[in-house]
Amino acid sequence: MTGTVYLVGAGPGAPDLLTLRAARLLAAADIVFHDALVHPDTLALAERAEKIAVGKRCGKHSTAQKFINKRLVDAARGHSIVVRLKGGDPMLFGRAQEEIAALETAGVRYEVVPGVTAALAAARGWLKASRPAPGYRALLRPTPGQSTWAPARRRRSPRHSSPRASRPQRPLRSSRVPRWNPAESLQRLPCSLVSLASSRVRQSS
């Protein structure tokens, strides 16, 4: 018996951003291989499934990709529904192509279930934050008397707060437009056009 491996996107982190199809597959899954950044409430949807962490974290113990590929193939031979749960969308920065290649080589059926990528969901978390964290200022703030959002004014650094009178002033450039000089213009023309332009100047004078 050979089951099907579902490469499922868990979304940007919040369990309520999980797709309906992903939630149904987690509820029916026999075994789930999940990343380290998957929310615990998302994993709780797979009540009857065996959960195996195969995430990669910097500075911590990580699972080699070749080992993950082998575990997926072995699990498909013993279970009907195998879920590979990845953060965000499985095809974006998820190394899903390597797992797909291993499944195709072993002759295992697979299916990709897209998820909400973190790049598209960043605006939701940005606007949801009511106050900036300590040490940071909000990039967007409501304008007084308006319901829309406007860019926050840029504050000057203390080192640039000195009055302008103490700074050296640059000399102002003249705004006068130079008058047209026919002689200088003739010198810039190609040799073939100098004679023609000279004759026109004489006729006009």
Handedness of CA 17, 21, 24, 29 (dihedral sign): negative
Nearest to 87 by CA among 65, 109, 114: 114
Q: To 10 degrees, what angle do helices 96-106 and 65-76 make?
A: 40
pLDDT at residue 198 in the model: 56
Active-site residue, 56 included: yes
Of the residues 56, 70, 74, 86, which is catalytic? 56
pLDDT category at 136 given cuts 50, 70, 90 is very low
Question: Which one of 3.40.50.300, 1.10.357.10, 3.40.50.2000, 3.40.1010.10 gives the CATH number of domain 4-119?
Answer: 3.40.1010.10
Q: In this predicted structure, what is the pLDDT of residue 179?
A: 64
Q: What is the mean pLDDT of the chain?
A: 76
Query: Tens digit of pLDDT for each residue in 37-81?
Result: 899 999 999 999 999 999 877 767 778 889 999 999 999 999 999
- Residue/partner pairs of 120-124 with CB below 8 Å, 24 or more apart: 121/11, 121/12, 121/14, 121/17, 122/12
Is residue 74 among the annotated active site residues? no
Identify the active-site residue in 35, 41, 60, 66.
Answer: 35
